[in-house]
Structure 1
């Protein structure tokens, strides 16, 4: 069996899940890997790898999505050309984690594609939503990387086909030694904005900033570039995490029973949906870094760990069942 695993590279969460699942899938099939987007700082395992420019969301310096930069910085004509030239045929199954090139290629040119993403869980009608629904945001969740069949993940397993968080082995087996320390990952904020807000924090702060050239230290604040090893070390040593309202890092934080505060990226509807779900699980939420009551949050009691079970092997079997020959055998 030959599988293509296509992953969205505009954030580290998609790539972290791929790093966990690809070696498990590779026990059963040849796995090639595609990645599109330009924002992840993590490496991927797997066989033949191909990179696409894809469509990347761009941010301003103050925690928000920049529509102007997103429109200007993406190579739209190249994206359309890639959709029609991408070599999608020859694979028994394409596993797609919200990756638009392969998704649109299969949608327009045919093939067997299974969406395996957090976004599929967010889209479900029973999943939490913010007070005000955003029709454009709902449309983007459905059409950014279209699919006809999907397996989703979310904070709460709200329905069949929406699984609880898949906690990767690096986090599940991590030996935590937490102390009063704050880990920060807010990629939509500039390092200057982070320094201004956090240099007087009552506990030491380690902030991870994408593509930071050299570490920065100001008072209690330290910023460094994102690497797997440094991030895991800081995560193990911190009793509190402040991050965007993504999915993987917040749920990993809840898994280990650390304090969690999330700040949704302004203009990114998916993060507003995530914040609604994470609040139900015990996370603090603020609309901006300036409005987060950091001292009050850091003095609040930490939550109980949420020990979601490891269902990785069962998930791999479920993924493989979508391959045409597996469907034929089962019939």
Structure 2
């Protein structure tokens, strides 16, 4: 079986999910070609696990200081290049096309009338999950950004719907935590403001990951440049996580039992909805602004939740390898039966 897999590369969450899926698809004997879009090729890192990969410009979102700018997003995307990207793909030459909210592969399938299966979190908002009421612009984006024929939606809870648990690395054994250590990942915020937010909390050690290097004037704050291995090592060791409300990092934090505080992007209904879900499930806390009082309460009052998820990537890959038989409610329920929540 030959599969074309489109991955949205604007953020790192989609790529993290694709890393897990790549192992499962390979183990199932499935040959995969990957297409990454959403950022310049030189801005990707640690991509060796995707042996057969290519890059396109695709479409992306423009953000400033923790807010999505819809006007600049519309102006900044090159529609003519996007059409060329779509025409350059021969989606109908593959046995199956997957997309993780990636628009080039999705539209290439639409143009060639090739079936396309979505795998990801964005597809969950067709179900009765906690969500912020999206604006007209946002609704149009969800409907037309990466259209698919069918989708496997992912969330932290099933909500009695056709939803699967998150796709995360399955961790075996326990890790010794560094007490009062905090991993911070707020890449779309002004990093100077992030440093000012954290500077009063001298009893904690902060590791802040950024896209570019920065030196802190405070001994309890360390800035690090993004790397897959370094980030994962620090994530396993930390006690707390402070991050934007992206789905994949929050899922990783929950699977490792981290105390979680999210700051959802303004104007990004998915992240706002994620924050609502984390609060309603009592899995984490949220702040709408960079607020030192909220951070202080988080350190004083937060409780950890550890969720053991099954190997969802392997579950999906085996289903694909078997020819994708019809999915029944019991198919979803079987996967959720392996989820264990410890508080």
Q: TM-score, normalised by structure 2?
A: 0.86
CA RMSD of aligned residues (A): 2.1
Are the equivalent residues in 2 in contact too, given 1:209–1:223 (CA < 8 A)?
A: yes
- Aligned: 1:85 with 2:77: no
Provide, for residues 263-297 of structure 1, a one-character-per-residue CA deviation record: whole Å limited to 9, x for no partner.
11111111111111111232111111136511111
Provide, for residues 208-243 of structure 1, a one-character-per-residue CA deviation record: whole Å limited to 9, x for no partner.
112x0x341221222121101211121122111011
Q: Residue 182 of structure 1: CA displacement?
A: 1.2
Aligned to 2:247: 247
Cα distance in 1 for residues equivalent to 2:173 and 2:23: 17
Unaligned runs of 5+ in 2: 327-343
Q: 1:67 to 1:42 in 2, by over 3 A?
A: farther
Q: How does 1:168-187 map to 2 (within 5 A)?
A: 168-169=169-170, 175-187=175-187
Provide, for residues 147-192 of structure 1, a one-character-per-residue CA deviation record: whole Å limited to 9, x for no partner.
11010101112244310112214x5667342320111111210222
Cα distance in 2 for residues equivalent to 1:95 and 1:74: 23
Cα distance in 2 for residues equivalent to 1:173 and 1:134: 44
Q: Residue 126 of structure 1: CA displacement?
A: 1.0
Aligned to 1:22: 22
Aligned to 1:196: 196
Are the equivalent residues in 1 in contact too, given 2:242–2:261 (CA < 8 A)?
A: yes
Q: 1:237 to 1:65 in 2, by over 3 A?
A: same
Cα distance in 2 for residues equivalent to 1:74 and 1:23: 32
Are the equivalent residues in 1 in contact too, given 2:166–2:312 (CA < 8 A)?
A: no
Aligned to 1:310: 311
Unaligned runs of 5+ in 1: none
Which shows bigger deviation, 65-74 or 4-13?
Answer: 65-74
Q: 1:155 to 1:24 in 2, by over 3 A?
A: same
Q: 1:135 to 1:176 in 2, by over 3 A?
A: farther
Aligned to 1:127: 129
Q: How does 1:91-110 map to 2 (within 5 A)?
A: 91-110=94-113
Which shows bigger deviation, 148-157 or 69-78?
Answer: 69-78
Q: 1:115 to 1:263 in 2, by over 3 A?
A: same
Q: TM-score, normalised by structure 1?
A: 0.89
Cα distance in 1 for residues equivalent to 2:55 and 2:256: 33
Cα distance in 1 for residues equivalent to 2:173 and 2:61: 32
Cα distance in 1 for residues equivalent to 2:104 and 2:163: 24
- Aligned: 1:151 with 2:152: yes
Which shows bigger deviation, 138-147 or 286-295?
Answer: 286-295
Which shows bigger deviation, 306-315 or 7-16?
Answer: 306-315
Aligned to 1:52: 56
